[in-house]
A and B are shown apart, each in its own frame.
Chain A
Amino acid sequence: MIEITLNNKNISVDVEPDMPLLYVLRDELKLKGTKFGCGVGQCGACTVHLNGQAIRSCITPISAVNKQKITTIEGLSTDGDHKVQKAWREHKVPQCGYCQSGQMMSAASLLANNASPSDEEVVEHMQGNICRCGTYKRIKKAIHAAADMES
């Protein structure tokens, strides 16, 4: 039995210890906001927060996060009003939207660590997240816009 604090709730799951967190979230806990994109930590679609830091849930065995704090897109804010989400709306970032949970989770962790990142820092932090629709220009803009918002 593995215990985690998921989106501020304490839960326990009975799964194989090597099952990646992504599948625990999606298949066992039915939280579908976190997406599968590559399965090998290459695309960032599965990004969630482990104790506030962005990680790739597709390559993180559930046993590695035992007794720790996980946040998914569903728990990023209570009303979809995290400043990253607001900025994503304002700049109409998404096209197909599939990668955007991961993009926003990466962006949120960037801003949590660096309230006012430079262009270079945004690019450096976000290059693990692929968007095949090509929304990068707006992702950059939205991150800067979120940085400028009052928390």
Chain B
Amino acid sequence: MKIIENVSRRNFIKLAGITAGSFALGVHLPLTKAQANTLAEHQINFFISFNDLGDVSIICHRSEMGQGIRTSIPQIIADELGADWNKVSVVQAKADAKYGPQGTAGSASIRSHFTTIRQVGAAAREMLEQAAANIWQVNKSAVSAKKHFVYHNKTGEKITFGELAKHAAKLTAPDVNTITLKSQHNFSLIGKNVKQVDLDNIVTGQAEYAQDIELPDMLIAVIQRPKVVGAVVKSFDASEAKKVKGVVDVIQLKPRKLPAGVYPLSGVAVLATNTWAATEGKKKLSIEWDTSNVAAASKHDSKQFTKQLKAQVNTKGAIVRRKGDVYRHNYDEANTVEATYSIPYLHHAPMETPAATAIVTSEKCTIWAGTQNPQWAQGMVAQELGIPREEIDKIELNVTLMGGAFGRKSKGDFIIEAVELAQKTNKPVKVVWTREDDVQHGFYHSSSANYFKAQVNGQGQVDNLIARTAYPPIAWLWDEQAKHPSDSQLSLGFADMPFELNSLSLEKHDVDSYVRPGWLRSVACINNGFALGSFVDELAVKANKSPRAMWLSLIGSDREDNPSSDSFKYSNYDLDYKDHPVDTKRMKSLINLISDKANIEEELPSNQGWGISFLRSFGSYVAAATKVQVVNNKIEVLEMHTAVDCGIVVTPDRVEAQMEGAMIFGLSIALMGEISVSNGAVEQNNFYDYPVTRINQAPKMFVHLVNSKKPPGGIGEPGVPPVVPSITNAIYHASKIRIRDLPINKVMEV
């Protein structure tokens, strides 16, 4: 994780420039075209600037991939600022450390930065108030900002933000420790469904994604990459490719060695004046690959690998966390549940395949890319071009909208490809990935196996639980010796199991890696949440209890259940444990809420069933319930619910949208998700053999949002993990078929 997190966690406000003497009126932020032509600009801080009409531009420094962050961050800032939302325009930040961390991953934008984002707005509001107080020659406490005006509290006089901005911009910014944030009950925009920032552009086809970048004299590149990770080009014949009308050049990319990092895979690029010619030219390349350095990877077979992982987790592993001594317990077989679960490799398949455009001159490198992590990519480009850290400004990275990402676009590989080709051709180059490129050369959610064993006693109480996990760790990208997940990875729904037991043993295994692993929406919470949620249901069946009763009994008393111990450091999604404890009371209320709202204990025909599950992840608590019908081994998903307690909600409608999306994403994983590998090569190609949920598979969906004043949790990812086992549990209750190996379509029609 160090490699990603090399942006220091310095005080965000300092980075945001709200310190004495840091106003840079000469440094104008990008404006809309109309403003730029006619209006002066008054910049209050790096995030906020006004024009003379009083319209405010607010920077969104994190990347939009559909989660609505370009609405929610400006919404938070505008609320603390006291701005009128109708006068807000949103400007996307380029890669720049002055904004603080920009890596948009881990559902972290709001949960990890809520206070600092609020401080940005509040500091500017205090400066506007101070400017008004100076004009009226009163103390700042005698004035207050509201909806784009500052009011004199006594006289009721008011001055517009637009008039005050030019004075405010000259003031010293308040010390971060003196800034007063609004109380929650005074929020004017947070918690409201404000107008979505990009909605109009999207519905008129005007929204610009990385694939849409167009520059004069630009070449479009499509690349043939090696089927086996780490293979390099031995030789190639481009003569047929060059015959395709529109093809301008064929260029071999640099060979890349392991560890793979998030660098390109090497290969051969076909550059053309249009995308069609580049795509057709690529098909006509003839390449001989050298796999001598990756002999083991070139024999990798994912089906064998899953068998191997399952065998491993059926043996004792290295202890991650333990209590009591399960190995001294004599398991009574009749009352013991023992189960092994597996999930294959999975892929992101965002609707927009990766794309990046670059121009490289001797002075500067300019990039347009849909990236979740602009500063990380900028740093990689600097390294690639040999630009020293102190000259990082020579790399201008413009962040476009992303047509979905789900973790795929946190990696900079496709950006480096564009930079390398732009440098080699001295022309603007846009690299576009075909769908086949995307499916076959991704960073996959690791194939995994989880094992569970526990005994149910006469009263239906569970104890002596063993859980084991084995999967290729993401750390392998940087260290080929990395063989098991770190504590931080094990904190994702595995070692943070919140059950009140006397005796448990949580264990991990070492495994080798052969394909590039990567973060996929919800990361290891997918496999851990599937295994945990399935096992609880299996325990309920064994104990002859309702799933609700089993969950409540396992979670036990109301308490804060910190899983950290001498041997295991719980990462808690990098949240402060004090603000975000593992709260069993919130868990139980979610389980009761979903059970009641979905009415899971209703009488059903024998071929229908409800399944539920739960996981706390990314600081939020989510429960899911699914109703299915099984007829002749074909399943139909009839209804899905999720209940979410994510603390303070900024944009309720976008939270609901994320939960709706999580149900569909979970359906894709559970029903059909499988990337298989044979001889080191991914076997799937496109949506016809890597299917994702379509509208005919989408059931009735309901979202139940808990009203909470707790600090905000994440929302992009926490919806997915409980959805997957809720589906397989429902199948069990409708058919007595227990799915322990995903996807479901291996054994049932979906």
Which A positions have Cβ atoms within 8 angstroms of B?
16, 19-20, 23, 26-28, 30, 32-40, 42-43, 45, 72-74, 76, 80, 85, 88-89, 92, 94-101, 104, 122-124, 126-127, 129-140
Contact = CB atoms under 8 A, between A and B. Distances in A.
Given A20-B276, A27-B276, A123-B696, A35 B203 contact: no
B593 to A, nearest CB: 20
Contacts of B198: 94, 97
A139 B693 CA distance: 14
A132 B439 CA distance: 14
Interface string B634-671: 00000000000000000001000110111111000000
Interface of B: 64-68, 193, 196, 198-209, 211-212, 214, 220, 245-246, 273-276, 279, 349-353, 401-406, 432, 434-435, 653, 657-658, 660-665, 686-688, 692-696, 698, 700-701
Given A80-B203, A95-B67, A98-B403, A127 B695 contact: yes
Contacts of A127: 694-696
B275 A27 contact: yes
Nearest to A120: B696
Interface residues of B: mostly helix, strand, loop or mixed? loop
A32 B401 CA distance: 13
Contacts of A76: 205
Given A16-B245, A32-B214, A97-B201, 20 more contacts: A20-B276, A23-B276, A34-B205, A36-B353, A42-B688, A73-B205, A76-B205, A88-B203, A94-B203, A96-B350, A96-B351, A100-B203, A101-B205, A123-B696, A126-B695, A127-B696, A132-B351, A133-B657, A136-B664, A140-B695
30 contacts: A23-B274, A26-B275, A27-B274, A30-B214, A33-B205, A35-B351, A36-B275, A37-B352, A37-B353, A43-B687, A73-B205, A80-B203, A88-B203, A89-B199, A89-B200, A94-B203, A95-B67, A95-B661, A96-B66, A96-B351, A96-B405, A97-B66, A97-B202, A123-B696, A127-B695, A132-B665, A133-B66, A136-B695, A137-B698, A140-B698
Contact of A132 (B68, B653, B662, B692): B692
A135 B275 contact: no
A80 B204 CA distance: 5
A135 B657 contact: yes
A132 B404 contact: yes
B205 A98 contact: no
A137 B701 contact: yes
A95 B435 contact: no
B205 A135 contact: no
A127 to B, nearest CB: 5
Given A40-B686, A73-B205, A133-B404, A95 B351 contact: no
Nearest to B272: A27
A126 B351 CA distance: 16
Contacts of A74: 204-205
Given A73-B204, A133-B661, A135-B661, A94 B274 contact: no
B66 A95 contact: yes
B121 to A, nearest CB: 24
Contact of B687 (A27, A42, A133, A134): A42
B401 A96 contact: yes
A92 B220 CA distance: 34
Contacts of B664: 131, 133-134, 136
Nearest to B204: A80
Given A36-B275, A73-B204, A134-B662, A98 B352 contact: yes
B65 A96 contact: yes
Top 9 A-B pairs ranked by shortest CB distance?
A: A33-B205, A134-B664, A98-B403, A96-B66, A73-B205, A97-B202, A95-B66, A134-B661, A136-B698
A98 B349 CA distance: 13
B211 A38 contact: no
Given A74-B205, A85-B203, A135-B660, A37 B698 contact: no
A139 B279 CA distance: 32
B695 A38 contact: no
A96 B402 contact: yes
A33 B206 contact: yes
A44 to B, nearest CB: 10
B435 A130 contact: no
A92 B199 contact: yes
Contacts of A98: 209, 350-352, 403-404
Nearest to B439: A38
A67 B695 CA distance: 34
Most interface-central of B214, B276, B403 (chain A CB within 10 A): B276
Nearest to A125: B695
Contact of B350 (A19, A23, A129, A132): A132
Contacts of B349: 132
B356 to A, nearest CB: 15
Most interface-central of A42, A100, A122, A136 (chain B CB within 10 A): A136
Given A94-B203, A132-B404, A134-B662, A99 B351 contact: yes
A37 B351 contact: yes
B87 to A, nearest CB: 20
A130 B700 CA distance: 17
B120 to A, nearest CB: 26
Given A27-B274, A45-B351, A134 B693 contact: yes
Contacts of B199: 89, 92, 94
A96 B204 contact: no
Contacts of B403: 35, 96-99
Contacts of A32: 205, 208, 211-212, 214
A92 B276 contact: no
Contacts of B434: 39
Contacts of A131: 351, 664, 695
A27 B665 CA distance: 32
Contacts of B351: 35, 37, 43, 45, 96, 98-99, 130-133
Contact of A134 (B64, B200, B663): B663
Contacts of B353: 36-37
Nearest to B205: A33
B204 A85 contact: yes
Contacts of B211: 32, 35-36
Contacts of A126: 695
Contacts of A80: 200, 203-204
B203 A104 contact: yes
A49 B474 CA distance: 44
Most interface-central of A32, A74, A92, A134 (chain B CB within 10 A): A134
Contacts of B406: 132
Contacts of B404: 96, 98, 132-133
Nearest to A84: B203
